[in-house]
Chain A
């Protein structure tokens, strides 16, 4: 069994670079939403568990002396339904473009882990329902809500686990024949891949760090306006950013060392562009860490936190490119996108480009309307 399928016979209706660009662009956007969702749900659980009922106040009521941990948890939880919708919606596009470019590999790995992969849909349905339930009715500190919050994090972590399984399996064709012969019923996983655990850990901690940064930005903005609670959010956010980011240097190194030597060397000078992107993605977060640390004591912290957030965003873009570099280098012996037959359909692409702008403008207008509107009592 050679277990290496051929790319689809139909030509790609546009140049590879265009699909790669759209893939990375939409994937970065998806990651940002996913980090809010996954990181947010975990932080909300922790903050909920840390919260104590504020004496003599109805918890969650506007303006009351609510436990800051609880307030933070609720702030996140009420945004999770939108975050989940945005994550799924923005996840559709990279999944489409990755199938256009690497479909033959992606479908094969999906079939090998068919049941776990299909279970993503069930998990999404259940988790999404729980997210709404917690958002609509979580204003109590009680046990049920804690369980709901825990279940949501567990559901999202399981989805992350399954995605990393499929994404790593899809670039590991050398393992396919053995897996298919042993389990043709679609119950394989890829946890035996040496890069699997560090990769999963790296992505999950990244989600925590990014959400920490979001909280720091929100906190800093409020602190600048003289809101004392903003300070405590800034501190909490900074901790959630700093600790996971420091941990990521460990998980990242672990991942790097687990890569095939030939792949690793691409980032160690063999491919200069990749090496530079990789180095930048490591150093940018260091600067971001320093800026966040300085912001905590700063009189006007927003500028520092804002700058730090931008560095982090650049680092995310860099790391997405590094992730792509890992895919290209790993697949190099069996497949490169250079071999794909190209037959551009520019007329349809042009319509897509115009409609994408229309979609962005329309969505921005609608979001602005609701953001500007006064909150309902």
Chain B
């Protein structure tokens, strides 16, 4: 409520996902690629292998351009982007860790300088000094990760910081070490994977053997990295509190799916590395190397997505919500509502209910939700009516999909509902099955047999009784059914069918329809 919310035609998350995924991939390469360069340079110098040194020099140019231009600029890009899409969260991360960021900057400065001196120094520095600069590069790049890892893992598991507000409690948080382990080996794996790109380039006849050797070496390097990354990720997953992990059992459908892909994609990556560079290095040309790199991106992307997904609905767990509301200010905000507390709300718009609802939606919801598309509201509300929408908004935090608490008044929820109704498509096919009605009306808060299981709630009730119950469910948390009579009938029948009791198993649809009338 403290910051303006950027009115984007798509979900804010998409923007950060694109920039962050690409940056994080290259940024990990910037760490592991440094180790790869310096270790292989050691080997080449020891064996006096001029051909290999030539390949390495070429690789370092690719490395320099990719990490310094793309890596460094997109890194600044993430910072710009998070400041735009979540100013409150960004501000908190800056304030809590400003000295940490400053420390990271000292490593960054040295890292950049070392990368340049290393690249420009191939012919100008003695081998010993060149290697020393290479080691400085790697150490600084890794230390930079050591710092950022503390801040990223803090977001999910801030641990004792929530009570103490102590820098070190937040930094060395419960998932710090496992996360650092996984990221370190992931970075190392990428050092090998990206080397395949350079090594796959068909050189002259004379470097053929060196090239194949290097492909195989890079493959082995990458495989060790991938296996240890998997170990680290498993360790990290076990460090994540169980109640957070449980979210991937279906309550967050996309996050659940992505979480399941992560081990599969990691396995696929390992298989590709074994089948390509290790077993058939001759076949590793540019397209093959590219496919392997894509597999690496997919494995990492899914893991990072899962990590971000399970943090829902927080930016910093139990401190600040995705929409910039602090956990500690919820009660105070609620008392006066969003309009009274909103720095960027125009009270004069209150006369225009839709425009007013839209600006409240923007202030409270648009940090994550768009009108259409990914995380869009249109598909969610298309079968809703206004009264139901108002209930859903007001009951936000009690829903199954992990939403932040609603901090507005009932009137404000109603205004948002009125605005949401304008998003409904002009023509909507009616719901044709009880299961579909269940999805729309009940699944926001219940699953059939797991989360607040509905089958237990309806056990023993006939379709007629269910219909009667749906008119007034006798609880502030259960809005009355406000759909059409047809939908009510379909739902009653469906709910009834969840109950295996013989008395209701045979209830025909017509009975339910009659009951509804």
Residues of A within 8 A of B (CB): 1-6, 8-14, 19, 22, 81-82, 85-86, 88-90, 92-93, 95-97, 99-100, 103-104, 106-108, 110-112, 114, 117-118, 120-121, 124-125, 128-129, 132, 176-177, 180-181, 184-186, 343, 345, 347-349, 351-352, 355-356, 358-359, 362-363, 366-367, 369-370, 373-376
Q: Most chain-A CB neighbours within 10 Å: which of B100, B110, B129?
A: B110
Residues A100 and B105 in contact, CB atoms below 8 Å apart: no
Which residues does chain B contribute within 8 Å of A88, judged by CB atoms? 72-73, 76
Residues A111 and B6 in contact, CB atoms below 8 Å apart: yes
Residues B73 and A124 in contact, CB atoms below 8 Å apart: yes
Residues B109 and A89 in contact, CB atoms below 8 Å apart: yes
Q: A345-B167, A369-B121 are in contact. List 8 more A-B contacts (CB 8 A).
A: A85-B68, A85-B112, A95-B79, A96-B102, A121-B77, A184-B5, A186-B6, A369-B133
Which residues does chain A contribute within 8 Å of B165, judged by CB atoms? 10, 343
Name which residue of chain B comes closest to A96, CB basis: B101
Residues A366 and B113 in contact, CB atoms below 8 Å apart: yes
* 7 A-B pairs whose Cβ atoms sit less than 8 Å apart in the complex: A107-B83, A107-B87, A110-B84, A111-B5, A111-B6, A114-B6, A358-B106
Name which residue of chain A comes closest to B139, CB basis: A362
- Contact string, B95-118, partner A, CB cutoff 8 A, digits 1/0? 110111111011111101110110
Query: In whole Å, how far is B5's beta carbon from the nearest beta carbon of chain A?
Result: 7
Name which residue of chain B comes closest to A356, CB basis: B106
Residues A11 and B95 in contact, CB atoms below 8 Å apart: yes
Query: In whole Å, how far is A152's beta carbon from the nearest beta carbon of chain B?
Result: 13
Query: In whole Å, how far is A96's beta carbon from the nearest beta carbon of chain B?
Result: 5
Residues A111 and B84 in contact, CB atoms below 8 Å apart: yes
Residues B76 and A370 in contact, CB atoms below 8 Å apart: no
Q: Which of B48-56, B178-186, B343-351, B380-388 contacts A (4 or more CB under 8 A)?
A: B343-351
Residues A117 and B80 in contact, CB atoms below 8 Å apart: yes
A104 in contact with B91 given A13-B99, A132-B65, A366-B113 (CB within 8 Å): yes
Residues B102 and A352 in contact, CB atoms below 8 Å apart: yes
Q: Most chain-B CB neighbours within 10 Å: which of A8, A93, A349, A366?
A: A366
Q: Which residues 317-332 of B sit at the A interface, judged by CB distance below 8 A?
A: 326
Which residues does chain A contribute within 8 Å of B72, judged by CB atoms? 85, 88-89
Which residues does chain B contribute within 8 Å of A118, judged by CB atoms? 77, 80-81, 84
B124 part of interface (Cβ distance < 8 Å):
yes
Question: Of A114, A128, A176, A185, which one neighbours B73 at CB under 8 angstroms?
Answer: A128
Query: In whole Å, how far is B105's beta carbon from the nearest beta carbon of chain A?
Result: 5
A366 in contact with B107 given A88-B72, A108-B3, A121-B77 (CB within 8 Å): no
Distance, CA A180 to CA B363, complexed state (A): 12
A362 in contact with B110 given A107-B3, A107-B83, A185-B6 (CB within 8 Å): yes
B449 part of interface (Cβ distance < 8 Å):
no
Residues B120 and A13 in contact, CB atoms below 8 Å apart: no
Distance, CA A345 to CA B99, complexed state (A): 8
Question: Of B9, B101, B129, B168, which one neighbours A369 at CB under 8 angstroms?
Answer: B129
B336 part of interface (Cβ distance < 8 Å):
no
A96 in contact with B94 given A4-B343, A85-B116, A362-B136 (CB within 8 Å): yes
Query: In whole Å, how far is A265's beta carbon from the nearest beta carbon of chain B?
Result: 30
Query: In whole Å, how far is B355's beta carbon from the nearest beta carbon of chain A?
Result: 11
Which residues does chain B contribute within 8 Å of A375, judged by CB atoms? 124
Residues A100 and B69 in contact, CB atoms below 8 Å apart: no
Which residues does chain B contribute within 8 Å of A349, judged by CB atoms? 99
Residues A366 and B81 in contact, CB atoms below 8 Å apart: no
Q: Most chain-B CB neighbours within 10 Å: which of A97, A176, A345?
A: A345
B262 part of interface (Cβ distance < 8 Å):
no
Which residues does chain B contribute within 8 Å of A185, judged by CB atoms? 6-9
Residues A125 and B73 in contact, CB atoms below 8 Å apart: yes
B421 part of interface (Cβ distance < 8 Å):
no
Distance, CA A295 to CA B84, complexed state (A): 50
Query: In whole Å, how far is A213's beta carbon from the nearest beta carbon of chain B?
Result: 24
Distance, CA A88 to CA B80, complexed state (A): 13
B362 part of interface (Cβ distance < 8 Å):
yes
Residues A93 and B80 in contact, CB atoms below 8 Å apart: no
Query: In whole Å, how far is A130's beta carbon from the nearest beta carbon of chain B?
Result: 10
Residues B112 and A376 in contact, CB atoms below 8 Å apart: no
Residues A367 and B95 in contact, CB atoms below 8 Å apart: no
A3 in contact with B343 given A10-B96, A103-B95, A132-B69 (CB within 8 Å): yes
B46 part of interface (Cβ distance < 8 Å):
no
B450 part of interface (Cβ distance < 8 Å):
no
Which residues does chain B contribute within 8 Å of A9, judged by CB atoms? 92, 326
B70 part of interface (Cβ distance < 8 Å):
yes
Q: Most chain-A CB neighbours within 10 Å: which of B72, B95, B96?
A: B95
Residues B124 and A376 in contact, CB atoms below 8 Å apart: yes
B125 part of interface (Cβ distance < 8 Å):
yes
Residues B3 and A89 in contact, CB atoms below 8 Å apart: no
Residues B80 and A121 in contact, CB atoms below 8 Å apart: yes
Distance, CA A116 to CA B101, complexed state (A): 25
B4 part of interface (Cβ distance < 8 Å):
yes
Which residues does chain B contribute within 8 Å of A100, judged by CB atoms? 94-95, 98
